Chain A
Amino acid sequence: MSGGASRLPAPWGAYIDRDRTVRFSFEGREIEGFAGDTIASALAANGIRLLSRSFKYHRPRGSTSMSGDDGGGLVQVGDEPNVLADVREVEPGMTVVGQNYIGSLESDQASILERFKPFLPVGFYYKAFFRPRGIWNYWEKLIRQTAGLGRVDPDTPRRYYDKTYEFCDVAVIGAGPAGLAAAAEAAESGADVLLVEREPDLGGSLAFQRFDPDAFGAERTLCRLRERVAGQSNLRVMTNAVCTGWFADNWLSIISGNRLHKLRARSVVACTGVLEQPPLFRANDLPGIMFGGAAQRLIRSYGVKPGRRAVVFTSSGDGYGVALDLDDSGVDVAAIVDPGSASSGDSLTLAARDRGIRVIQGCAVAEAVPRPDKLNVAAVLVGPVSGSDFIADDRERIDCDLLCVSTATAPAASLLCQAGARLQLSESSGSFEVTSIPPNAFAAGSVNGFFDLDAVIEDGQRAGMSAAHTGDETAPAAVERERGQTRRYWFGTEHPDGLDFVDFDEDVTAHDVCDAIAEGFEDIELLKRYTAMGMGPSQGRQSALGAARLVARVTGRPLSEVGATTSRPPAFPEKFGHLAGRAFKPVRRTALHHRHVELGAQIMTSGLWLRPAYYGPEHARAQLINEEVRAVRTGVGVIDVSTLGGFEIRGPDAAEFLNRMYTLSYHRLRVGRVRYAMVLDDAGVVVDDGVAARLARNHFYVTASTTGAEEMYPALLWRQAQWRLDVDISDVTSSTCAFNLAGPRSRAVLEKLASDIDFSRAAFPYMAVRVGRLGGIPVRVLRIGFVGELGYEIHVPSAQAEALWDTLMEAGDEFGIRPFAVEAQRVLRLEKGHVIVGQDTDGLTNPLEADMGWALGRRKRYYVGKRSIEIAAAKGIARRLVGYRLVGSVGTVPEEGCLVIRRGEIVGRLTSSAWSPTLGRTIGLAYVAPDQAAAGHVFDIKAQDGRMVRAEVAALPFYDPGNTRQGL
């Protein structure tokens, strides 16, 4: 039959599309499945149950749950490791291989490790590998080679993941009978509801489990609930969506495909059902042993006959339903093994007996017998139950290739526990019960202890209504019905010959647990950490109950005292891609950015800004920077300085605000004039600088450095919040573009353009500001000289900046105008001895150290940091920023950051270092000891290659000491 030899005819297989064949490879073998198949179901249809190897002993593993709840079905798909084979849908051409084996999956050379089991007891890694001293280096390599499951390919291409935010009144997790009823009820009550379901379709257990002998009841119930859900416009459904975390204030993380949904819900209803639990018996981990629900999923969801001859091991009516399904699908049911001493008398039990299926009452499976190749179960040994969970030695062998176990369940309460609920072991059921459910959270259905279908639906409705009315004190309180008779689960006992696994992920046996308890690790949390139980891929979903019951039995403590380990997110696997999502990395471009790119600029980042570093190819960097410097010194250049911060300070107290905030005095600054503006913090440390232009009596325009602008605005607002002056502060950084036209011919360029501003020396002196139009575009022009030449800083509305740039470049063409960029500006200002805050200062630099005492208003009564400066001045400074030039012929030019050394001690460092094309030598700024600061003093620098280089303190500025050029 197409789609695999074990494929059942329709109508079995609700999820598969038999018209769409999907071919993929597993372990190099071509496999044929159908669209809608999972990898595991398609393989099962082709008779393959062995999917991977276990973590420690490399025992053969297959899926036991067919729902992604166990760690046995992890496979490698292409470059993606640890894929849940029983969840991932098959795709044409996908390449699937097993994991964690050496050689071949079927003949794993590393399975020899099982023979060394006596030498690898639980916790052996805490006791080994550290003696003799240094041996760890050997073991570490070996362990790293064998550790892990799948293989990560570092060259895996980047994939697209993203995130989205969701909101709803009521979130219902799980679309089984309780979830459907809860969602419908909440929606009918008017709430905006989101129903989240892991499976591809709605229904939960209704989609695969048998609730009655004729098997139609579930379908009828599902149809009815589906109609209720579909009829609600305020109810959204997400299928194939896994809720992985439940955080504070009902913030849920839900993964669907490559997307992480961040859901905020007013209230949440958990209808997450129960998880089947493995009983203890020897070789209980063999492929061919699966939960009853897994067999039913194979039959009903995927149309796969799960085996040829089966034994069903059950302690409830559910297992009898499994036997009926197996029988219906053509599997020879050899026996139902029921540890109960008497028939329960429910309809499924009676139906199974009526069909003549052999029921072995009062017996339990004591051992699974593997095939000679050890890759599947071949038979089970069944013995009579002797006391609670013990099996007598009188064993019957029953041959089978499939063992379905339905002996115990535990509430799937990981999410509820993350929200604050607690798990408690019940003496009556022998399983966990959910208690202490927090406000605005609800549990319904089997996770809440209801198993009868009608009761489950009624409980769902109760929870849905309560959730919808969360916060509504006038709403009638919904009453939870009595749970009725509780189930008593079979757990089994440790086998004298071992291989009785409690945790399949980590190959932890009952004997391991007993040994750990004997060593004193009887607290369930300590036991988990010592044995690694519950720390594997399935995160204890199938081991927590077994571990807790073993602890109770071995220690003799009551079940209610044992407790459960802490549930933490994620409840189900998440990928780093999901957590990272789509990276939003905002960048800021000046309005002239594209002009720079067109001019061949090398773009650098400065905070979020993209700025040109220099114009031209990278290989000619030094030459290009020198040419840009020369253009400014000899002709005219223009640089984009739009990244400078810009603030409007307006209001009657504007001058007073500046006077307090900045170190110089601004009360008497005349309208139309510009003054340097330096900001200190309370400790007197230089934090930023710029200029303040007085545009009107009560209006200043203040600039800030590129790197300091973002912090300056909140700093200004913070001070204003304290001082409460009558002033308004606005950040206009992005509203305004600025470019600095600099060089002896800059005035000539401006005078070519139509303007209402008189650019003559007399009318527009140094450190003045004018407002007008240039080339028809509104501008503020500041005559300042950071680069030490005649210069005009033109501030223009951003949206019109490109047009003005184009006009300027055209006008400057006849004067040889050349754009210059950050690197050239650094050289130009260094030649002029100007400090860059943040480069030539650090987080401790005060103005006295930076030789900027001239920028302190000594007659001012107050400015931020003044008191600290006075203390620093009285105390004396420990370093001084000076200009230097290298002495003699220098093989190595020391870079910024190199240390100043005196008698083997560090006394300072270089903050700026560059070749000056104007001066024809390397110059820089450096911190030296105060007694080294006099011009002409020679000091030593340890260059980046370790060589010592001599430098001489030089008077600043290096260039144009008379400051004649900027005042032209």
Chain B
Amino acid sequence: MPESDQLSVRPAAFARRSFVYRRLESAGAWFAEIGGAAVAARFGDTASEVETARRLGLADLSPLPRVGFKGAGAMDWLAERGVTIDGSRPNWSWRQGDGSLAIARSNTESLILSNLSGNRYLCDRLESESNEGMEARVYVLPRYDGLFWFALTGSCAVACMAKVCGVDLRPSSFVDGAVAQTSVAGLTTTVVRCDIGIENAFYLLGDSASAEFFWDALLDAMREFRGDAVGLWSLQALQAEVK
């Protein structure tokens, strides 16, 4: 599909809508469809947006698939289905072969995030099989709707996070893959260090009902670093640099 057609989509044309789509529209986002939802692909020139993402960018990944699993048998059940995850290591994340991410929030609770292409195969497969998992003490959690998913990227991301979060997120202390469930801007948030390409990046997941508050709070904290909202394409571009 030509870029112009891709970018002609509007969030309200889809049943599934980002929790902050109005904020994105106001900021002049151009949207692209991914898996039945509109994701902010870019706000302006992608090349300059990549530079913003290198310095400090905030991207809304909420339209991308994710699902959670919980229960005494959840970790084994996921491992049996080919997911790399270790329940004995809570607050850690593992990149999967397709680029999606498996997060151990505790030794009985996980969160699966799709890759940046929005490939929903893994999430869908696991969710569809979760009914049979009920007997194995595996319970699906509707994280697609319950959690917003933002990415904060770039060299200033740590300094920016230090304004809103009391956890030591310096690269030496909070390495790629680390997970913290803590308070960010006064909101309970799961922080995942998930570098994109060679750039620092944090995935931030929190209560979807507070998504707009959180988006605004982060943009305010980002201002001193000249950070700004960026589209998914700039993140994909960062990721492509190392492929």
Residues of A within 8 A of B (CB): 162-167, 192, 262, 264, 582, 584-591, 594, 608-609, 642, 648, 650-651, 698-699, 726, 728, 730, 732-736, 776-777, 797-800, 802-804
Residues of B within 8 A of A (CB): 12, 14-19, 22, 37, 62, 70-71, 134, 137, 139, 141-147, 159, 162-168, 170, 172-173, 185-187, 207-210, 212-214, 217, 220-221
B145 adjacent to A735 (CB under 8 Å): yes
B70 adjacent to A728 (CB under 8 Å): yes
- 17 cross-chain CB contacts under 8 A: A164-B162, A165-B163, A166-B162, A192-B172, A582-B163, A584-B186, A584-B217, A586-B185, A590-B209, A609-B209, A699-B134, A728-B70, A728-B71, A732-B141, A735-B144, A799-B17, A799-B37
* A696: min CB distance to chain B, Å: 8
Chain A residues near B164 (CB-CB < 8 A): 584
A164 adjacent to B210 (CB under 8 Å): no
B165 adjacent to A589 (CB under 8 Å): no
Chain B residues near A651 (CB-CB < 8 A): 71, 137, 139
B208 adjacent to A648 (CB under 8 Å): no
Chain B residues near A733 (CB-CB < 8 A): 146, 209
4 residue pairs, one from A and one from B, having the closest CB atoms:
A584-B186, A735-B146, A588-B209, A803-B15
Most B Cβ at <10 Å: residue of A166, A728, A733: A728
Name the residue of chain B whose CB is nearest to the CB of A737. B145
Most B Cβ at <10 Å: residue of A166, A586, A589, A803: A586
Chain B residues near A736 (CB-CB < 8 A): 142, 145
Chain A residues near B14 (CB-CB < 8 A): 803
B143 adjacent to A735 (CB under 8 Å): yes
A586 adjacent to B186 (CB under 8 Å): yes
Knowing A162-B163, A164-B162, say if A730 contacts B141 (CB, 8 Å).
Answer: yes
Given contacts A586-B185, A586-B186, A650-B134, 20 further A-B contacts (CB under 8 A): A192-B172, A586-B210, A587-B210, A589-B210, A590-B209, A591-B19, A608-B210, A609-B209, A650-B139, A728-B70, A730-B141, A732-B146, A734-B208, A734-B209, A735-B146, A736-B145, A799-B16, A799-B19, A799-B37, A800-B15
* Distance of A594 Cα from B213 Cα, bound (Å): 14
B17 adjacent to A803 (CB under 8 Å): yes
Chain A residues near B185 (CB-CB < 8 A): 584, 586
Name the residue of chain B whose CB is nearest to the CB of A588. B209
Name the residue of chain A whose CB is nearest to the CB of B63. A799
* Distance of A648 Cα from B71 Cα, bound (Å): 12
Knowing A797-B144, A799-B18, say if A728 contacts B139 (CB, 8 Å).
Answer: yes
Chain A residues near B163 (CB-CB < 8 A): 162-165, 582
* Distance of A799 Cα from B18 Cα, bound (Å): 6
* B208: min CB distance to chain A, Å: 5
Chain A residues near B210 (CB-CB < 8 A): 586-589, 608
Chain A residues near B172 (CB-CB < 8 A): 192
A798 adjacent to B15 (CB under 8 Å): no
Of A165, A591, A732, the residue contacting B165 (CB under 8 A) is A165
B70 adjacent to A730 (CB under 8 Å): yes
B145 adjacent to A798 (CB under 8 Å): yes
* A75: min CB distance to chain B, Å: 29
B212 adjacent to A589 (CB under 8 Å): yes
* Distance of A726 Cα from B71 Cα, bound (Å): 10
Knowing A162-B163, A590-B209, say if A800 contacts B22 (CB, 8 Å).
Answer: no
* Distance of A102 Cα from B185 Cα, bound (Å): 46
B213 adjacent to A587 (CB under 8 Å): yes
* Distance of A584 Cα from B216 Cα, bound (Å): 11
Chain A residues near B162 (CB-CB < 8 A): 164-166
A797 adjacent to B17 (CB under 8 Å): no
Of B22, B166, B170, the residue contacting A594 (CB under 8 A) is B22
Chain A residues near B167 (CB-CB < 8 A): 165
* Distance of A803 Cα from B16 Cα, bound (Å): 7
A167 adjacent to B170 (CB under 8 Å): yes
Name the residue of chain A whose CB is nearest to the CB of B185. A584
Chain B residues near A165 (CB-CB < 8 A): 162-163, 165-168
Chain B residues near A192 (CB-CB < 8 A): 170, 172
Name the residue of chain A whose CB is nearest to the CB of B217. A584
* A159: min CB distance to chain B, Å: 15
B209 adjacent to A589 (CB under 8 Å): yes
A735 adjacent to B208 (CB under 8 Å): yes
Most A Cβ at <10 Å: residue of B12, B167, B172, B208: B208
* Distance of A277 Cα from B214 Cα, bound (Å): 51
* Distance of A587 Cα from B165 Cα, bound (Å): 18
Chain B residues near A732 (CB-CB < 8 A): 141-142, 146
Chain B residues near A585 (CB-CB < 8 A): 186
Most B Cβ at <10 Å: residue of A166, A582, A776: A582
Chain A residues near B147 (CB-CB < 8 A): 734
* Distance of A777 Cα from B220 Cα, bound (Å): 35
Chain B residues near A699 (CB-CB < 8 A): 134
Chain A residues near B146 (CB-CB < 8 A): 732-735, 798
B208 adjacent to A799 (CB under 8 Å): yes
Most B Cβ at <10 Å: residue of A587, A651, A777, A799: A799
* Distance of A567 Cα from B164 Cα, bound (Å): 30
* Distance of A732 Cα from B143 Cα, bound (Å): 9
Of B19, B22, B159, B186, the residue contacting A798 (CB under 8 A) is B19
* Distance of A192 Cα from B14 Cα, bound (Å): 50
* B86: min CB distance to chain A, Å: 21
Chain A residues near B16 (CB-CB < 8 A): 797, 799-800, 803
B173 adjacent to A167 (CB under 8 Å): yes
A730 adjacent to B209 (CB under 8 Å): no
* B120: min CB distance to chain A, Å: 14
Chain A residues near B187 (CB-CB < 8 A): 584, 586
* Distance of A166 Cα from B37 Cα, bound (Å): 39
Name the residue of chain B whose CB is nearest to the CB of A798. B145
* Distance of A582 Cα from B220 Cα, bound (Å): 10
B145 adjacent to A728 (CB under 8 Å): no
Chain B residues near A777 (CB-CB < 8 A): 15
Chain B residues near A734 (CB-CB < 8 A): 145-147, 207-209
Chain A residues near B71 (CB-CB < 8 A): 651, 728
B145 adjacent to A167 (CB under 8 Å): no
* Distance of A454 Cα from B181 Cα, bound (Å): 49
* Distance of A726 Cα from B142 Cα, bound (Å): 21
* Distance of A734 Cα from B167 Cα, bound (Å): 25
* Distance of A777 Cα from B17 Cα, bound (Å): 13
Chain B residues near A800 (CB-CB < 8 A): 15-17, 145
* B173: min CB distance to chain A, Å: 7
B208 adjacent to A798 (CB under 8 Å): yes
Knowing A164-B163, A650-B139, say if A264 contacts B145 (CB, 8 Å).
Answer: no
B142 adjacent to A797 (CB under 8 Å): yes
Name the residue of chain B whose CB is nearest to the CB of A609. B209
Chain B residues near A591 (CB-CB < 8 A): 17, 19, 208-209
Chain B residues near A804 (CB-CB < 8 A): 15
Chain A residues near B220 (CB-CB < 8 A): 582
B19 adjacent to A167 (CB under 8 Å): no
Name the residue of chain B whose CB is nearest to the CB of A610. B209
Chain A residues near B18 (CB-CB < 8 A): 799
* Distance of A167 Cα from B221 Cα, bound (Å): 19
Name the residue of chain A whose CB is nearest to the CB of B108. A728
B208 adjacent to A728 (CB under 8 Å): no
* B222: min CB distance to chain A, Å: 12
B186 adjacent to A730 (CB under 8 Å): no
Name the residue of chain B whose CB is nearest to the CB of A650. B139
Chain A residues near B134 (CB-CB < 8 A): 650, 698-699
Chain A residues near B166 (CB-CB < 8 A): 165, 262
* B163: min CB distance to chain A, Å: 5
Name the residue of chain B whose CB is nearest to the CB of A803. B15
* B128: min CB distance to chain A, Å: 13
* Distance of A588 Cα from B185 Cα, bound (Å): 14
* Distance of A728 Cα from B139 Cα, bound (Å): 8
* B87: min CB distance to chain A, Å: 15
Name the residue of chain A whose CB is nearest to the CB of B160. A164
* A296: min CB distance to chain B, Å: 36
Name the residue of chain B whose CB is nearest to the CB of A261. B162
B145 adjacent to A797 (CB under 8 Å): yes
A802 adjacent to B168 (CB under 8 Å): no
